[in-house]
Chain A
Amino acid sequence: MHEPVAEREDADDSPAGLAPSEFAELYTRNSRAIYYLALRFLGDPQKAEDATHDVFLKAFRKMAQFRGESSWRTWLYRIAINHCRNLQQRWHERHLFSNADDSVWETAADRTDSPLRVLETKELGERIQKALDGLSDEYRLLLLLVADEELSYEQVGALTEQSADAVRGKLHRARKAFGVLFQKTA
């Protein structure tokens, strides 16, 4: 992402330095990433829609607190992650599946290391959602963040409060777990 607009001296004369048109640009640039994270993390389109709205509204209210120490994308992700986690705690919808032991994936057949082959059908989203739902919140979030090419492992680590090396290590297991679950949805 480009230089954060709020940090530019010519941003505008509004108190927070972010003009409405620039907030709209912020939304345009980041809404897909935030909506997708909310959709696949929460697993419900309506909840994801509401969450995306709430995340950007929170961002608007708090934009004066943005100091440019991270990118806007990372800052928005942080708000989104906190928001989605709060919603998750209230809903308690996936507890049956969220505590899968790593050993389950470690003993899985090696075929999960092979490429994921899919047909381009409208069910693809449903298969992905089912596989993600079977993962722990941590693995699900990790995969969703790493899938965003704008984020480095360091940034993913900062968002999930761990080192980049820890991200790499867990990512390997998360990929394997996802592979096993995704094959099962076929």
Chain B
Amino acid sequence: MKHRSKLSSEQQQEHSAEQQTQAQSVREFGTAEELLRYDAAHTPVPPGIAHKLQQSVGGQPRPRAAWWKRLWGGKA
């Protein structure tokens, strides 16, 4: 019985600590966009994209100038 109450006490403490942690990390967002903005700011871009893109671009012919740039020397 005593053992049970000790366990219960520990569990209560854990639960209380958990609640405290949760209470500290609760965030509030006024709109969906704010939430998405927060999510976007915390979503890293996989570094593999830049590496793959570098390889892909390296194998591409240089883009042709637009017709108006060819005609007017890029001042359009």
- Are A125 and B39 CB-contacts (below 8 A) given A53-B56, A118-B27? yes
Q: Is the CB of A65 within 8 A of B32?
A: no
Q: Is the CB of A33 within 8 A of B40?
A: yes
- Are A117 and B49 CB-contacts (below 8 A) given A16-B62, A32-B40? no
The number of residues on chain A lying at the interface, defined by a beta carbon within 8 Å of a beta carbon of chain B, is 50
Contacts of B49 in A (CB 8 A): 31, 35, 49, 52-53, 56
State the total of A-B contacts with C-beta under 8 angstroms: 127
**Contacts from A to B (Cβ < 8 Å):** 9, 14-18, 20, 23, 27, 31-33, 35-36, 39-40, 45, 49, 52-53, 56-57, 60-65, 67, 115-121, 124-125, 128, 143-144, 146-149, 174-175, 178-179, 182
**Contacts from B to A (Cβ < 8 Å):** 22, 25-37, 39-40, 43, 45-46, 48-50, 52-53, 56-57, 60, 62-66, 68-69, 74-76
